[in-house]
Structure 1
Amino acid sequence: MKCKVENLDWVSYERLVSNGDRKIIIPVGAIEQHGPHMSLNPDVLIPDYIACRVAESAQNMLVSPPIAYGYKSQVKSGGGNFFPGTTCVSSQSLENYVHDVILAFVEHGNREFLLINGHFENSMCLVEAADRAVRQARLAGIDIKVILLSYWDFISEETIGKVFPDGFSGWAVEHGGVLETSIMLKIHPELVDMSRAVDIPPAEFPPYDVFPPDPSWVPESGTLSSPLKATAEKGEWILEECISRIAATFR
């Protein structure tokens, strides 16, 4: 894809960005279990796909390689770190990594950035990374702007009603459920095996956290709700709305 930074040679890249009129989109995700029916990387593949589609809708955007390792999976939003394959980093590591990547792009001449988050737990780490990068660039006499978003915040109540006609249990238990599975069925069906999907009721958690985390709080499948009603058509509804609304906002 021509919108991908890593697919450019350095001369072409320099020509595109040296005058500062290119916006850089940085997808940020996580490697985290999403049940026995799906690969470990939906949190990376989904924001990367959205980023590329957003960039294709404009002439002045480039997409950086995604940042794959995210902040620690939490029991009540991602099932926790009990599952083999879930590979997470500390908040400090993620914050520093994203901060350094932004400033490296600043040195190339880039001045405007969009962070597309695909992993709930990353959120405040990305806030800190963006804030520090803006302040550090300003100390060097350079003004930059960083926009931070999570793609699910661009899904309307109307679309939620179409995807969940029997009622929506809430974002907190959508890990590995209908929403993520539907998107993956649309963009990477080869990484989804619905014959292995586990039908469970939405997980219920107490209104507090405990450390060390208690594995018995999490369903054995690792998903926090049932993915059985996921379809590629639902994934298309979700993606089309997210992409169009993000593109319109960023323009």
Structure 2
Amino acid sequence: MMPQLSWEYLTWPEIAGLRDGILVFASGSIEQHGPRLPVATDTLTSQGFVGLLQASMPQRKLIAAPPITYTYAKLNSAYPGTINLNGATLLGMTRDILADVFRQGFRNVLFVNGHMESVAFIMEGAELALDECRREHPDGSPGKVVFANWWEFVPDRLIDEVFGSKWPGWEAEHAALTETSLMLYLRPELVREAPVGPSDYDRFPYRVLPWPERSRPASGCYADPAGASAEIGRRLAEAVVAGLRRVVETEFS
């Protein structure tokens, strides 16, 4: 899905005329997502939400920024295809990107995030960029960054309807039913028909470093994707986009 207003396809004079708009970053990953989904799943779903958000709010100046694709993905770095950045690298990259768009005069930024592991690093990078903006422009607008994880807009009611008593929790919904359903709705041509295999792995209420092999399922799917469908993906996407619209209306009024 091609966003209506996308930074990388604009010219510099066009971008210069959009400084009063909202710059929307899709943040995802290049990370294994089992045998059925592409490694860019987190990025593609976030980009899909950004495009749907733009289409649902044509009256607002929403600019799709180039996505944050490479990220911290250490848990799944043992699988081929995952490209992992150190947390400090992701933090610094986010700080530099936002500091530069603030320097260019943009002040309103929204992140639509699809990757759980990157949250703390991107938020800290944003904080540092805002600090720099305030130091350089003490009498001007300091800028505003809103960070939204798409899964936090999925209501409990919808989870109950889809999963019943079998809900594994968001941490286990990696390459599982929700992400597979979203990809079947947003990018069905990229979903493979492939056997998934077992999704068994050890869960424990603490962390061990380096990550032990027993903490990763052989398939790369942390829960069973059986039952995924484009219809479930549509319902999930509609709930997420409705939540993102509320964010725009509330935080960037």
Query: Structure 2 length as normaliser, TM-score?
Result: 0.91
Counting matched residue pairs gives 242
Matches within 5 A, 1:1-251: 1-17=3-19, 21-58=20-57, 59-74=60-75, 80-141=76-137, 142=140, 143-198=142-197, 200=199, 203-251=201-249
Q: 1:212 and 1:14 mapped to 2: Cα distance?
A: 46
Structure 2 residues without counterparts, runs of 5 or longer: none
8 Å CA contact 2:198, 2:217 repeated in 1: no
Structure 1 residues without counterparts, runs of 5 or longer: 75-79
- C-alpha RMSD of the superposition: 1.5
SS across alignment from 1:205: coil
Identity %: 29
Report the CA distance between 1:204 and its aligned residue. Answer: 4.0
Report the CA distance between 1:166 and its aligned residue. Answer: 4.6
Moved more, 48-57 or 64-73: 48-57
Q: 1:220 to 1:199 in 2, by over 3 A?
A: closer
Q: 2:235 and 2:198 mapped to 1: Cα distance?
A: 23
SS across alignment from 1:194: coil
8 Å CA contact 2:21, 2:106 repeated in 1: yes
SS across alignment from 2:184: helix
SS across alignment from 2:226: coil
Q: 1:179 and 1:97 mapped to 2: Cα distance?
A: 29
Q: Which runs of 4+ in 1 moved over 4 A?
A: none
Query: Structure 1 length as normaliser, TM-score?
Result: 0.91
